[in-house]
Chain A
Amino acid sequence: DAGITQSPRHKVTETGTPVTLRCHQTENHRYMYWYRQDPGHGLRLIHYSYGVKDTDKGEVSDGYSVSRSKTEDFLLTLESATSSQTSVYFCAISIAFTDTQYFGPGTRLTVL
């Protein structure tokens, strides 16, 4: 299994609070991704990174920001969480942009 961890694994928070999810990899892959998974929508890309300090938006980026200060860490921040951001969040990594992606175990976030 690819060395990808996510923290926390579960979080319950209240509307309006900031939340940061962390993805950590030990594979030294260049690309890292954040997805959300919701019933009826499958997986949707939020943001991705193609190197340290290099990030770009995916298809559902509104309300989310990301940062990557080290190759191994990719942070996803919800500046002011809303109930519509209740979801399961997955991090993924890959060597190249259209190469095989390997997924972390996920973080279940509930916004009350």
Chain B
Amino acid sequence: GNSVTQMEGPVTLSEEAFLTINCTYTATGYPSLFWYVQYPGEGLQLLLKATKADDKGSNKGFEATYRKETTSFHLEKGSVQVSDSAVYFCALSGPLSGNTPLVFGKGTRLSVIA
């Protein structure tokens, strides 16, 4: 079945550092890929998405490129801020998903220190 593996945290960075959170997936066909962000005490918010190979999703300075050849969708940001501290979830949806339309990774907690 479909699955998502993302790097385990926590990740601690200094302000203005470069961020990469790795995400790889296993899926049949051509899934859509998502990054969600969860700030403390809140629900998940869609951060960005990509629906086909080589698409780049971007939002709020974050980027991720849908790489079918490496089955990856790594999240990057050039200069993180304290306000980026949150838990980040990689997810996929696609055909043959059965009763699980959206498959999540376990989340990566990011802490940014000033």
Is B one of A's binding partners? yes
**Chain A residues packing against B (C-beta within 8 Å):** 31, 33, 40-43, 45, 48, 56-59, 90, 92, 94, 97-106
Q: Which residues of B contact A97 (CB under 8 A)?
A: 97, 101
- Complex Cα distance, B44 from A94, in Å, reads 14
Q: What are 30 pairs between A and B in contact, CB < 8 Å?
A: A33-B101, A41-B106, A43-B89, A43-B104, A45-B99, A45-B100, A45-B101, A45-B102, A48-B99, A48-B101, A58-B99, A58-B100, A59-B99, A59-B100, A90-B44, A92-B44, A92-B102, A98-B32, A98-B93, A98-B94, A98-B97, A99-B93, A100-B34, A100-B46, A101-B101, A102-B46, A103-B36, A103-B43, A103-B45, A104-B43
Query: 5 closest pairs, A vs B, by CB?
Result: A103-B43, A98-B93, A42-B106, A103-B44, A105-B43
**How many of B's residues come within 8 Å of A, CB to CB?**
22
**Chain B residues packing against A (C-beta within 8 Å):** 32, 34, 36, 42-46, 49, 89, 93-95, 97, 99-102, 104-107
Closest to A104 in B: B43
